[in-house]
Amino acid sequence: MAIRFYVDADLLGLAKLLVTVRPDVTYPGDPGGTGPDGLSRPPCPVPPPETDSMWIPTVASQGWIAITRDRHLNSRPAEKEAIIRHGARVIRLDARHQLNKWLELEIVVCQWRRFEELLKSDGPWVYLASRTALTPLKL
């Protein structure tokens, strides 16, 4: 299975959990590997750590959806411009409350099928994901 989702460095703990069960997920600095199902995952072309405006072009050019916790992502001019210019597709976990790995995982698992549906839609876009909702944000 090809990589379809990139988990940003601000969710590295979550990313390392997800790659143990999903061969279509990667993260910055991911050396690649083989999951429990025997499917292999190539190394991630994004080295750690990268600023948002630097990983966005790479992730967008791969056609991946990025998952992040960065609540300022679409309000910083450089990052917002990079999302728009490169047609990036970004899901931002709702971090209004302090999230730990368990709460991050809960959001992702509750919304995963909807994340997969978003693979059909072209960017640029940013969605806000909570356990119960997936809401488009204005760029």
Domain range summary for the chain, segments of one domain joined by +? 5-137
Going by C-beta distance under 8 Å and a sequence separation of 6 or more, which residues neighbour residue 31?
A: 43
- Extract the residue ranges of the chain whose pLDDT is less than 70: 36, 50-53, 74
Q: What pLDDT is stored for residue 50 in this prediction?
A: 63
Q: What pLDDT is stored for residue 34 in this prediction?
A: 84
84-119 CB burial, b ≥16 within 10 A, e <16: eebebbbbbbbbeeebeeebbbebbeebeeebeebe
Handedness of CA 24, 115, 15, 77 (dihedral sign): positive
Q: What pLDDT is stored for residue 51 in this prediction?
A: 63
Q: What pLDDT is stored for residue 78 in this prediction?
A: 87
Handedness of CA 25, 31, 33, 35 (dihedral sign): negative
**DSSP letters spanning 26-86:** E-TT---EE-TTS-EEPPPSSPSS--HHHHHHHHHHHTPEEEE--TTTTTSHHHHHHHHHH
